[in-house]
C-alpha cells in the first residue's frame, strides 16, 4: 500500500527559555524558544512526517494558523505523487493563487511552508529508511535539481549548471561520506555568549567549552553602549586566547553607519566574521558595510526570507559567509538552491542553528553541502547551541566540537510526545502552571 497523507495538524509549542536569558540578544531580549510544529499523518499506522518552523514565543499561533491554511493542498496527496514532482509540490504551496498574496515566499506563510515541506522530507526519508542527508546525497544530480524552483534565480544559476556542479563532485562523494562518518562536521559554540548572561556566566561557559574541545565561539553584541560590547569582547578574547576563533553577532541592531563605526572599534578583538550588522533585507547596506570594514567579513542569512534575496547578497559580494536557515527559507527545496548558488559564488555555507530543533535540522544540510556540492571544509562550520535537545527522539550527537552524522531515518526533528504535550501553548502543563 502506498503512503497517503490523510491529515495535517499544527501545534503551538513553546519553551520558557527567557527565564534563564537563553537566546537573548540585542534585539530579541526575552525569547521563549518555540515551534510551529506540523505533523503529517498517513494511512499507515505510526508512519508520520514531522516538521517545525522556529519562532520565539508570541506569534507562534499565527504560524500554526498558516500551517492549517496550507492543509488542503497537502492532505489527500500520496507520498509517491509528491516525490515524483517535488518542484511542483513546492510551487503548489508557494504559488497558490490566493495565499501567495500574503507572501509571496516570505513572512508567516513561508515559515509555515517550511514546516510542511520539511515534514514531507522527513516522511520521504523515513519511507526510504535513510536520514535526510543520506537521502539527498543518494539522489542523482538530475533528481536533486528537479526539486528546485529556478524561477527568479536562473539569471545566476540554471538547472544545467546545477546538474554540472553536482556531477563534478559525484565520483568523490563516497570518500567524503566516509570522512564525515569517521570525523563528524566541525561546529562553533554560541551558548557561551548570550547577551543576557553575566560576566561570571560567560567566563564559566568559555572555560567549560574549551575543556570540551571547542575552538570556535560566537558572542552577541549590540548592547545599549558600545563600551559594554568592547568590555565583553575583551573578556571572551581573554578567556579563549588568540589561537581560537571569535565571531560577533549584532542581530540587526545598527544602522549602516553605526555598524561601520562599531565594527571598526570591535575589530581589535579579531572577529572571524561579523554577523547581521543591520537590517536583514538591506543588501546594499550590507555591501556598503562589507567594503568599509574589510578584511572583516560579514555573515548573514538567518532571517533572509528567500532564494532571491540570497541571490542578491551573493551577487553583490555583501556576505562572506552564507548562513542558511532550515525553516526561514521554504524548506529543503529552497535551501538546495541557496547552497548551489553559494558554491557558484565561492561563499562558504555556515548554517544558522540558534533555536529549538535547528541544530537537528541543519546537520543534514551541511553534510549534503560538503559531500555533494562544495567538497571543502575550508571556512565551513555549523552553529551549535546547547539547549533543548533532550526533547527530540533523535537529538544531535556532538564529539570534540563536531556534529556526528545522524543514522536514524528522517530529518531528526520529531519531538517526544510528552514534550509536545507538556510544552504546548497555552494548555500544556508547563504553561498552565506558570
Give CB contacts under 8 A, 24+ apart, made by 135-139: 136/332, 136/336, 136/364, 136/368, 136/372, 137/173, 137/177, 137/367, 137/368, 137/371, 137/372
DSSP class of 84:
T
Which of 326, 286, 276, 330 minimizes the C-alpha distance to 307?
Answer: 330
> Which residues on adjacent β-strands are paired with residue 410?
131
Q: Active-site residue 391, yes or no?
A: no
Whether omega for the bond prior to residue 426 falls within 30 degrees of 0, making it cis, is yes
Catalytic residue status for 129: no
* Cell (9 digits) for 56: 520565539
Q: For residue 301, which of 343, 339, 257, 260 has the smallest C-alpha distance?
A: 339
Q: Give the active site residue among 106, 218, 220, 391.
A: 220
CA–CA distance, 170 with 193 (Å, rounded to integer) = 39
Would you say 21 and 58 are in contact if contact means Cβ atoms under 8 Å apart?
Answer: no
Of the candidates 134, 218, 352, 364, the residue annotated as catalytic is 352
d(CA 180, CA 167): 20
52: left (phi over 0), alpha (psi -120 to 50) or beta: beta
Distance in angstroms (rounded) separating the CA atoms of residues 193 and 199? 9
- DSSP class of residue 395? -
The cell numbers describing 169, all together, are 563532485
Distant-in-sequence, close-in-space partners of 387: CB < 8 Å, separation ≥ 6: 17, 22, 23, 33, 191, 356
SS3 assignment, position 35: strand
| Grid cell of 315 as nine digits | 551577487
| Residue 291 burial class via C-beta count within 10 angstroms: exposed 0-12, middle 13-18, buried 19 and up | exposed
User: Which residues are the active-site residues?
Assistant: 220, 352
Amino acid at each position: 500500500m502506498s503512503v497517503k497523507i490523510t491529515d495535517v495538524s499544527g501545534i503551538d509549542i513553546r519553551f520558557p527559555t527567557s527565564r534563564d536569558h537563553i537566546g537573548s540578544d540585542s534585539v530579541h531580549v526575552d525569547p521563549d524558544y518555540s515551534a510551529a510544529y506540523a505533523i503529517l499523518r498517513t494511512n499507515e499506522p505510526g508512519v508520520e512526517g514531522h516538521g517545525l518552523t522556529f519562532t520565539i514565543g508570541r506569534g507562534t499561533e499565527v504560524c500554526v494558523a498558516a500551517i492549517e491554511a496550507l492543509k488542503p493542498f497537502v492532505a489527500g496527496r500520496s507520498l509517491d505523487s509528491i516525490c515524483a514532482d517535488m518542484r511542483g509540490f513546492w510551487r503548489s504551496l508557494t504559488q497558490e493563487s490566493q495565499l501567495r498574496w500574503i507572501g509571496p515566499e516570505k513572512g508567516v506563510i513561508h515559515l509555515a511552508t517550511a514546516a510542511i515541506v520539511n515534514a514531507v522530507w522527513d516522511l520521504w526519508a523515513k519511507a526510504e529508511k535513510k536520514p535526510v542527508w543520506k537521502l539527498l546525497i543518494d539522489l542523482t544530480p538530475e533528481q536533486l535539481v528537479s526539486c528546485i524552483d529556478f524561477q527568479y534565480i536562473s539569471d545566476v544559476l540554471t538547472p544545467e549548471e546545477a546538474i554540472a556542479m553536482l556531477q563534478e563532485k559525484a565520483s568523490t562523494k563516497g570518500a567524503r561520506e566516509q570522512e564525515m562518518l569517521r570525523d563528524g562536521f566541525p561546529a562553533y559554540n554560541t551558548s557561551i555568549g548570550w547577551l543576557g548572561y553575566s560576566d561570571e556566566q560567560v567566563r564559566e561557559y568559555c572555560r567549560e567549552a574549551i575543556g570540551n574541545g571547542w575552538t570556535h565561539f560566537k558572542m552577541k553584541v549590540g548592547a545599549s553602549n558600545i563600551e559594554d560590547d568592547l568590555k565583553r569582547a575583551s573578556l571572551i578574547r581573554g578567556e579563549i586566547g588568540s589561537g581560537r576563533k571569535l565571531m560577533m553577532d549584532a542581530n540587526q541592531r545598527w544602522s549602516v553607519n553605526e555598524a561601520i563605526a562599531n565594527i571598526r572599534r570591535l575589530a581589535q578583538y579579531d572577529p572571524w566574521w561579523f554577523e547581521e550588522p543591520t537590517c536583514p533585507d538591506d543588501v546594499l547596506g550590507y555591501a556598503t558595510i562589507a567594503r568599509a570594514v574589510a578584511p572583516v567579513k560579514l555573515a548573514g542569512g538567518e532571517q533572509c526570507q528567500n532564494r532571491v534575496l540570497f541571490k542578491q547578497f551573493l551577487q553583490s559580494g555583501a556576505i562572506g559567509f552564507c548562513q542558511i536557515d532550515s525553516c526561514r527559507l521554504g524548506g529543503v527545496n529552497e535551501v538546495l538552491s541557496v547552497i548551489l548558488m553559494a558554491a557558484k559564488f565561492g561563499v562558504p555555507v555556515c548554517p544558522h542553528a540558534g533555536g529549538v530543533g535547528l541544530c537537528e535540522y541543519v546537520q543534514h544540510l551541511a553534510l549534503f553541502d560538503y559531500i555533494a556540492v562544495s567538497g571543502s571544509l575550508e571556512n565551513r562550520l555549523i552553529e551549535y547551541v546547547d539547549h533543548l535537545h533532550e526533547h527530540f527522539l533523535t537529538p544531535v550527537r556532538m564529539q570534540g566540537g563536531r556534529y556526528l552524522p545522524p543514522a536514524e531515518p528522517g530529518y531528526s526533528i520529531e519531538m517526544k510526545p510528552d514534550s509536545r504535550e507538556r510544552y504546548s501553548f497555552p494548555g500544556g502543563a508547563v504553561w498552565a502552571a506558570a
